[in-house]
Amino acid sequence: MAAVGDLAVKFGGLIKKERVFDFKNGVFGAPTKRSEVCALNLRKLRAGGSRIGGAQAVMQVGVESDAGVSRDSKNLEGALGFDVVTEVELREKGFLGLRKTKLVCTIGPACCSLDDLEKLAMGGMNVARLNMCHNTREWHQDLVRKINKLNEEKGFCVSLMIDTEGSQIHVVDHGAPSTVKAEEGSVWFFTNEKFEGSRPFTIQANYEGFAEGIQVGDEIVFDGGMATFKVVEKVGNDLRCKCTDPGLLLPRAKLSFWRDGKLVEKNYQLPTLSPKDWSDIDFGISEGVDFIAMSFVNDADAVTHLKNYISTKSSKSIQVLAKIESLEALHKLHEIVAASDGIMIARGDLGVEIPLEQIPTVQEEITYVCRQLNKPVVVASQLLESMVEYPTPTRAEVADVSEAVRQYADALMLSGESAIGPFGQKALSVLRMTSSRMELWSREENRQDILFQHNLEPSLPDQIADQICNSAAAMANNLGIDAIFVYTRHGQMASVISRNRPNPPIFAFTNESSTRMALNLRWGVTPLVVDLSDDMEGNITRSVHLLKTNGLIKNGDTVLVVSDIIPTSTTQTVFQSIQVKTIA
């Protein structure tokens, strides 16, 4: 509850129920109504098994009794596997109060102490992102060590992502340590040559071929519109340009070239992964990071190549996220999404290559394609940009965040807001508060879009698994279930349930740590590591018991349990089941 002196923010108007958010402590003032879940007597809903193409699908409804599990099974207590943040959130807000949208924070100098990282973790950071464009190998190594320490010693579950630098034409030197103003009509020299000391009106670009194919009359745009120059003369490999739209030139500003209102695509000459990127990738593999985000992906081959490389180098499964940040990537969106393990909509660089007014529709299109193909999608860049400087967001920023949540993006990302801004924790709490609000609204208004169900895989067993997950999500909504439990070794079942964006939270029990960390980016999924035995009934009974003894689930709660493979002692038949259990 917001104490006197705390900054309390209220959203009213359109929204029916008000909740007060305490920025300082990062908690909601009023818990989500548990009465949203109707009490159900599920005992009457008993249904038998039905045969589908050789595999057996069982649908059972029963009453879970605690009597069968002995309370002295101490070895299981530690195996609950909940992370500390979910546990607190669950105790405070109940099942429906758990946030669905995942949060990624870029780590930088403003938040790199163990203490800062712990505060971000406590504030709901699901994934820590290290941008390899900046800082040293030692700095990144230290960060990895700190995140691992927090996970191991403090019970957090924060996944690690590295983000490659990639190849892109940008400013190396513009003659000043920070921003330079370009006045209208001023003439500037663009070169790849390094220059010593101060040379006014000179810009050094990072790539020697930057002026290849560029003609007199073409335009150079800084950072997608910060300032614009017209090429007035070609001088060998260099360009003399006149400022036509005055503005600010930032260090490392991104350059794009335009002719007759169309982008002159130049990045095709640059490799998606440079030698430095390969070295950073080797670092990520050796540190056992969970995600590698690949900058400036231009086609599916680049993604497949990296995935193959990782599989030969790493025993651990590492997820490759393709960053969509070029026009070329948009042209090949489907194949890139299909080849990758997930997508980042890198709106920063995308806005350099496409007109800004197209970003919202492109974002909606990408999130839609990702959901169809069951790939997690991160919406990134400038979500709360003003908070790099100010302690509150603009209304427009909150609206932008809400829109990404309404589109059911899996995750939202902070960049400079957490990396260099003094209000990183506040920015994180704004993301948390805004997503929870929009999730509640979508649920209450029943705004869920009908998902056109692509079959994800052609084979029959996979289609059965898909259909089971789809049906489970529908059942969970229709029956007002409190929580969905899914037993999943590689995360596939959990991801397909998540793809349906059901109302109750999804607890994904897995025995693979890498599956757990990968599921951290999936909408609505709380991943837990447990010892999964072949006795699936035993697994289910044990996990319910563990939640109950820890006070996280109580009599009368209803849980929908989805399991994939239940080989029993007498038969090796593959069972796939949906069971509804009322805790008694």
Ligand X SMILES: Nc1ncnc2c1ncn2[C@@H]1O[C@H](COP(=O)(O)OP(=O)(O)OP(=O)(O)O)[C@@H](O)[C@H]1O
Residues lying near ligand CC(=O)C(=O)O in the complex (CB under 6 A) are found at: 295, 323, 325, 346-349, 380-381
Is 131 a binder of ligand X (CB under 6 A)?
yes
Contact partner, 277, from Mg ion, ligand X, ligand CC(=O)C(=O)O, none, Cβ < 5-8 Å per class: none
How far apart (Å, rounded) are the C-alpha atoms in residues 106 and 127? 9
Is 305 a binder of ligand X (CB under 6 A)?
no
Is 109 a binder of ligand X (CB under 6 A)?
yes
DSSP assignment of 46-115 equals ----EEETTEEEEEEEEEE-GGGS-TT-HHHHGGG---HHHHHHHHHH-GGGS--SEEEEE--GGG-SHH
Answer whether 456's CB lies under 8 Å from 462's CB. yes
Is 134 a binder of ligand X (CB under 6 A)?
yes
Contact partner, 347, from ligand CC(=O)C(=O)O, ligand X, Mg ion, none, Cβ < 5-8 Å per class: ligand CC(=O)C(=O)O
Answer whether 158's CB lies under 8 Å from 121's CB. yes
Task: Please report which residue ranges of 332-484 form alpha helices under DSSP H.
Answer: 333-339, 347-353, 359-372, 395-406, 416-419, 424-444, 460-479
Residue nearer to ligand X on the CB measure, 163 or 482: 163
In single-letter form, the type of residue at position 572 comes to: Q
Answer whether 80's CB lies under 8 Å from 550's CB. yes
**HSE, side-chain direction, 13 A CA sphere, residue 317:** 13
Answer whether 509's CB lies under 8 Å from 528's CB. yes
Contact partner, 9, from K ion, ligand CC(=O)C(=O)O, Mg ion, none, Cβ < 5-8 Å per class: none
Q: At closest approach, how far in Å is the CB of 363 from ligand CC(=O)C(=O)O? A: 12
Is 410 a binder of ligand X (CB under 6 A)?
no
Q: Which of 45, 327, 420, 456 binds ligand X (CB under 6 A)?
A: 420
Is 276 a binder of ligand X (CB under 6 A)?
no
Q: Which residue is nearest to ligand X (CB)?
A: 415
Contact partner, 108, from ligand X, Mg ion, ligand CC(=O)C(=O)O, none, Cβ < 5-8 Å per class: ligand X
How far apart (Å, rounded) are the C-alpha atoms in residues 327 and 375? 20
Answer whether 161's CB lies under 8 Å from 128's CB. yes
Residue nearer to ligand CC(=O)C(=O)O on the CB measure, 347 or 443: 347
Residue nearer to K ion on the CB measure, 280 or 564: 280
How far apart (Å, rounded) are the C-alpha atoms in residues 249 and 570? 72
Residue 476, CA distances (Å) to 30, 37, 51, 219, 500 in order: 25, 11, 22, 55, 11
Contact partner, 420, from Mg ion, ligand X, K ion, none, Cβ < 5-8 Å per class: ligand X
Q: At closest approach, how far in Å is the CB of 323 from ligand X? A: 7
Site string for ligand X, 321-350 (x = CB under 6 A): ---------------------------xx-
Q: Which of 219, 349, 400, 482 binds Mg ion (CB under 5 A)?
A: 349
SS3 content of the chain, % helix, strand, coil (to 5): 35, 25, 40
Binding residues for ligand X restricted to 344-403, rule: CB under 6 A = 348-349
Q: Which stretch binds ligand X (CB under 6 A): 3-11, 104-112, 334-342, 458-466?
A: 104-112
Q: Which stretch binds Mg ion (CB under 5 A): 193-201, 329-337, 349-357, 489-497?
A: 349-357
DSSP assignment of 435-478 equals HHHHHHHHHHTT-PPPPP---S-SSHHHHHHHHHHHHHHHHHHH
- Interface positions with ligand X (CB under 6 A): 106, 108-109, 131, 133-135, 163, 348-349, 415-416, 419-420
